[in-house]
Amino acid sequence: MKAEKIWANFSVKDAKRTRQFYTQLGFTPNKQNNYPKLASFLFGNNEFVIHFFEQGSQIDEYLPSGPKSSEIIFTLSAETEAEVKEFAAKVKEAGGNIFQEVRRDENNYYGFAFADPDGHKFNVLLMDNM
């Protein structure tokens, strides 16, 4: 699989507050963000995307809320459903733990989530409905 993009996801208590905070710090809002429970910003010269999902949204499936954890989940983009399935098979074969099976989520995105042998979390996502 050739991931064209990678971005980070955090769980936050209040997306509006987070949006205000990072705007005040001078970060550029991600124009592709259309969800009220998501604050999304571009960081650095390469415009690395960090999404801040409000608790009570889809991120709750993957990350504990609040300061209990400093873990993030990196998202790897996929181009086709076949690529998602093939990569899931590779993860299993390599000894990864798939904790969210391949499926379409509530936003109709297709993908799965896994942890590496050390427990670091990733999800693979086909955003073919954009």
Task: Render pLDDT for 9-47 as a digit per residue (tens, 0 to 9).
Answer: 888 888 899 999 899 888 899 987 778 889 999 998 889
What is the model's pLDDT at position 9?
A: 87
Query: The whole model's pTM is what?
Result: 0.67
Instruction: Give the whole-number percent of the chain exceeding pLDDT 90.
Output: 38
Q: What angle do CA 43, 46, 52 make, to 5 degrees?
A: 30
What is the model's pLDDT at position 67?
A: 54
Do residues 38 and 52 make contact, with C-beta atoms less than 8 angstroms apart?
yes
Q: How many angstroms separate the CA atoms of 25 and 56, rounded?
A: 25
| Among 17, 21, 7, residue whose Cα is nearest residue 50 | 7
In the predicted structure, residue 66 carries a pLDDT above the cut 60: no
Average pLDDT over residues 97-126: 90
What is the model's pLDDT at position 79?
A: 92
